[in-house]
Structure 1
Amino acid sequence: MNGDEDNYNDNVFINCPFDEEFKPLQNAMVFAIFDCGFVPRCALEENDGADIRLDKIKRLIQSSRYGVHDISRTELDAANSLPRFNMPLELGLFLGARQYG
């Protein structure tokens, strides 16, 4: 997934689980976004270990007019018995960006 940051009106930020179980749904989202003439954008498109993940997410949100957010995963993590809240956080960042321009 790669898109030009200058194509704000065509970019769609994808906020979903990136595990193997969710992969078929992620693939369907990417296909549908492309098929509708848009460019899917997500944190997986860049693999720079020196980049701070939150900064990368903020750049992707800033460059995307639209967003698809699946926050259905709230299972408890086996290691610490807490749910992962990164997807709701990314949804909040996206909504806040829209609210405050």
Structure 2
Amino acid sequence: MVEEPQAMASVLAELEALLRPTEPRWAHAMARYRARLEGGEPVSDVARDVVTLYSAGMGGWNDVVLQDARGVLTEQREFHRLRTELFHVARDAT
């Protein structure tokens, strides 16, 4: 589907912006996936790699919680929504 690269790139960009302040390593990972899409790499190849994030063990993508010294940030809800959306977009593109 022609919209898959744009849909995935959009979610990746939103995640990158949301993660940048508290999780720069993950923000950079989202930027790399987006750059691959924008560079013309097949969406199915990028999607396959994105889906593997969800099967990582302890300390992986599923364990990320946006927090600071005061506790969990209000942005956690939006992060959870975007992380779930990315999974569905990637799964559908594989």
Structure having the higher strand fraction is: 1
Larger Rg: 1
Structure having the higher helix fraction is: 2
Is the shorter-chain TM-score for this pair beyond 0.5, marking a shared fold? no
TM-score (norm 2): 0.35
